[in-house]
Every structure is written in C-alpha cells, then in structure tokens.
Amino acid sequence: MSINIDSKLPNLGTTIFTVIGELANRHQAINLGQGFPDFSAPQGLLDRVDYHIQQGHNQYAPMAGVAALREAIADKIGQSYGRAVSADREVTVTPGATEALYCAITACVRPGDEVIVFDPAYDSYEPAIELSGGRAVHLPLLPPAFGIDWQRVKDAINPRTRMIILNSPHNPTGATLSAGDLDSLAELVRDTDILLLSDEVYEHLVYDGETHQSLLRHDELAARAFVVFSFGKTYHVTGWKTGYCIAPAALTAELRKVHQYVTFVAVTPIQLALADYLRDCPEHYRQLPAFYQHKRDLFCEHMTGSRFKFTPTRGTFFQLMDYSDISDRDDMAMAEWLTGEKGVAAIPVSVFYKEPPPGRYVRFCFAKEDQTLIKAAELLCRI
C-alpha cells in the first residue's frame, strides 16, 4: 500500500549534525563539529540530580517549571541584567531552548506573517515559522564581523512583519550585539506591533572583557521580547535538554498555551538540581567566560601555524575558519574531506544560509578537553 504524504517541510532532510556526526564516527575523527562538550558537568550538580531522584522527586513538575528553579532564574536575571522578572508570570522552564523557540514562534506567527531572520541562522527557526504558515525573510549578516545592516532591516519591515529573531552570541559566527545595536533595533520597532525573539543560549560565552548585551538590559525591547536561555550550554549538559524563556506576562501566557501541549513539563529531578546549583554555586556561570576563553585561545594559538585564516571568535564555543587558501572545494565537500581524510570533523557554514554567499568557511567547536584541541590543531596544521 502506498500512502501519499504532502509534507509540511518538503525541503528538510537529515540535519548536517547527524550527517557529520555519523561520518566522524565512521572515520574515528576528532569531532569538532556538533556543539557539545567532551567533559563532564560539575560534580556537585550531578550529585544533586542523584539526591532528588533518590528522594522520590520523579513525578510531573508544574507546567511552567518547578517553583524553586523559576525563583532561582528570576534572581539570576536580576543579578545579571538588572531586570526584575516575576517567577510566576514571566519565567517558563522548557525541555531545551529549541522547544522555547518553537513555542514562541507557534504562539505568535500566523499564516501570511513574515519573520525576519539573519543568515547564517540556527536551523530550527525557519521550520517553526513555516509550520505556523509564516514566511522567513532572510537578511545576511555582513562578514567578516558578521554585523547587522540596520538599513536593510528597516527596508524589510512591512505591515506583514510579525517578528524579528535575534541570536547573540551568534551561532555559528560568534558575533555579538552591541548596546548600539539594541538602540538601533528599538528605533525600528517603536510604534509597531513587531515582536522579538532573542536566542541567548550562549549568554555566558562572551570574551575579551565584553559584556553580553541581552535584550533584557533594554526596557523598550524587553517589553516585546521572548528571551531564551539554555542550562545545557552553561553547565556542560546539552543532553539534559533544559532551557527557559523570559517574557512579559502577556507573552508568557501565550507561550505556555503552546508549551503545555508540546511537552507539558521538563524533567523534575533535573530542574530541582539546577535550582540548588544555581542558588548555591553562582561562581560557575560567572567564571564561564574565562573558562571558555582559555579554550578559544588555546585552539587559536595552535592553529596559527595552519593555512586557515581566522579572527578569534567573540562569543559561543565555535570558531569559524576560512579555508580559501587551502582548497576551492565547496564547504560541504571540505567538511567531508576534513572528516574523512584529515581526521577532524567540522560543520560547513553554508547549511545555515538560505542563499549562501561567496566565502569558504567551516565551523569548529572548541568545547573540548585541551588535549583534544591540541591534537586536532596538529592534524589541521599538517594540511
């Protein structure tokens, strides 16, 4: 029997992360492709998960998240960004930041709406927009710094524009928004009904003394924004898939209407453990910029003898490398060659674009043990 399926996402196949991950496993390559650490979470955090499991805290959590965690998040937001938020009405815990992004888009985007996204863009944005009947309007970030051209944003805004999606620190480029960028954005959306969705999962991975410019620092922007964060990136536990969204009460109410029918709740003992650790060990996230800047600097130092061209990333745990002096292959072929022939897996940057521009970049993840980074750099320097 043949079933005719009219796919809602006909242009999507297996993600690049699965493709490169399988290729890395097959060739036993060092995997600097997908963004996950190869080191453990803090032992104290792991101990708290075990404690809460043994205490029997294994049933459904409240839909919006465990109260103790939402309260700890609200305290952290106040300390980090100077914004008072209501733990009850403005904080929602979700099974991963991607779920929060999906729920925010689904709650607000309707058929015929347009959503502005900046290429290269994280790959979950456009499918969620399309599933809601909206259309993604792709605007390019400008290399080599990958900044936003605010005049192009102004030109793209029209009565159909429902939302603008921001991502800072930016995956895959590592670019960060400035306070001036936030002011420019505020000027463009003032006196409109445009909503903002800010993907800030790498909030603590900002380097060289720079301050993360969260939309929550800006009163005018915070009043119309969903701001999404990730515990997975902060505590080296990407597999826990636990994140959260901060939004004004009216927006939070709409997000929760979708959230309760997508996953309903995040994992209870993990939430309780994160509440304990967030409250008792704030030094962890405060020290995270220095921790990852060491790894960035180590990797870049050992890559200075290579034929790759690069500028040390300003944020995230990703480093773009320009390979134009090495090969004229397209970046997918280059990533496959690096993985299969040279023993180091990378992600091609073109997969983050609707229409890739000229340029030859691959993305490496440096959330790895120091010896892993040194070994990978040694292999890459032999090219």
Return the domain boundaries, the chain. 16-36+284-381, 43-280
What is the mean predicted confidence (pLDDT) over 232-254?
97
Report the sign of the C-alpha dihedral through residues 368, 374, 375, 377, in that order: positive
The Cα 220–Cα 319 span in angstroms is 32
Is residue 97 over pLDDT 80?
yes
Pairing of strands 344-345, 318-322: unpaired
Hey, what CATH topology would domain 43-280 get?
Aspartate Aminotransferase; domain 2 (3.40.640)
**pLDDT at position 318, please?**
98
Residues 6+ positions from 351 with CB-CB distance below 8 Å: 16, 123, 332
Give residue 246's Cα distance to chain centre.
15
Model confidence pLDDT, tens digit, residues 355-377: 888 889 999 999 999 999 999 99
Long-range Cβ contacts of 25-28 (<8 Å, 24+ apart) = 27/339, 27/340, 27/343, 28/343
Q: How confident is the model at residue 263 (pLDDT cuts 50, 70, 90)?
A: very high
**pLDDT at position 205, please?**
98
Q: What share of the chain is helix, strand, coil (3-state, %, to 5)?
A: 45, 15, 40
CATH top class, domain 16-36+284-381 = alpha beta
DSSP 216: G
The Cα 113–Cα 122 span in angstroms is 20
Is residue 34 over pLDDT 80?
yes
Task: Specify which residues 138 forms β-bridges with.
Answer: 117
The region, left, alpha or beta by phi > 0 then psi within -120 to 50, assigned to residue 28 is: left
What is the mean predicted confidence (pLDDT) over 47-65?
98
The Cα 109–Cα 125 span in angstroms is 12
Model confidence pLDDT, tens digit, residues 4-23: 888 888 888 778 888 898 99
Which of 17-26, 204-213, 269-278 shows the lowest per-residue confidence on average (mean pLDDT)?
Answer: 17-26
Q: Taking each helix axis from N to C terminus, what angle separates 331-342 and 16-27, rounded to the nearest 10 degrees?
A: 20
For residue 21, which amino acid is it?
A: G
**pLDDT at position 3, please?**
85
The Cα 296–Cα 360 span in angstroms is 21
Q: How confident is the model at residue 162 (pLDDT cuts 50, 70, 90)?
A: very high
Quickly tell me which residue has 């993990």 as its tokens. Answer: 270
What global pTM score does this model have? Answer: 0.96
- Taking only Cα atoms into account, the Rg of the chain, rounded to an integer number of angstroms, comes to 21
The Cα 101–Cα 124 span in angstroms is 8
What is the mean predicted confidence (pLDDT) over 51-73?
98
Q: What is the 3-state secondary structure (H, E, C) of 73-88?
A: HHHHHHHHHCCCCCCC
Q: How confident is the model at residue 56 (pLDDT cuts 50, 70, 90)?
A: very high
**pLDDT at position 240, please?**
96
Is there a contact between 165 and 117 (Cβ–Cβ < 8 Å)? yes
**pLDDT at position 11, please?**
83
Residues 6+ positions from 84 with CB-CB distance below 8 Å: 74, 78
